[in-house]
A and B are shown apart, each in its own frame.
Chain A
Amino acid sequence: EDKVVQSPLSLVVHEGDTVTLNCSYEVTNFRSLLWYKQEKKAPTFLFMLTSSGIEKKSGRLSSILDKKELSSILNITATQTGDSAIYLCAASNNAGNMLTFGGGTRLMVKP
Chain B
Amino acid sequence: EAQVTQNPRYLITVTGKKLTVTCSQNMNHEYMSWYRQDPGLGLRQIYYSMNVEVTDKGDVPEGYKVSRKEKRNFPLILESPSPNQTSLYFCASSSQGAGGTEAFFGQGTRLTVV
Contacts and interface: CB of A to CB of B under 8 A. Distances in A.
A45 B99 contact: no
A100 B102 contact: no
Secondary structure at the A interface, as helix, strand, loop or mixed, is strand
Interface stretch (B14-22, B43-51, B67-75, B79-87): B43-51
Interface string B94-109: 0011111111011110
B41 interface: yes
Interface residues of A, number: 28
Contacts of A32: 99-100
A101 B42 contact: yes
Contacts of B44: 101
Contacts, number: 73
Contact of B31 (A33, A44, A48, A96): A96
Contact of A45 (B40, B59, B103, B107): B103
Given A97-B56, A99-B33, A90 B99 contact: yes
B98 A102 contact: no
B107 A92 contact: no
Contacts of A43: 43, 90, 105
A110 interface: no
Contact of A96 (B58, B100, B106, B107): B100
A42 B106 contact: yes
> Which of A6, A33, A44, A100 lies at the interface centre, i.e. has the most chain B CB atoms within 10 A of its CB?
A100
A100 B98 CA distance: 9
A73 B18 CA distance: 42
Q: 5 tightest A-B contacts by CB? A: A92-B99, A96-B97, A45-B102, A42-B105, A101-B42
Interface of A: 4, 6, 9, 31-34, 41-45, 48, 88, 90-93, 95-104
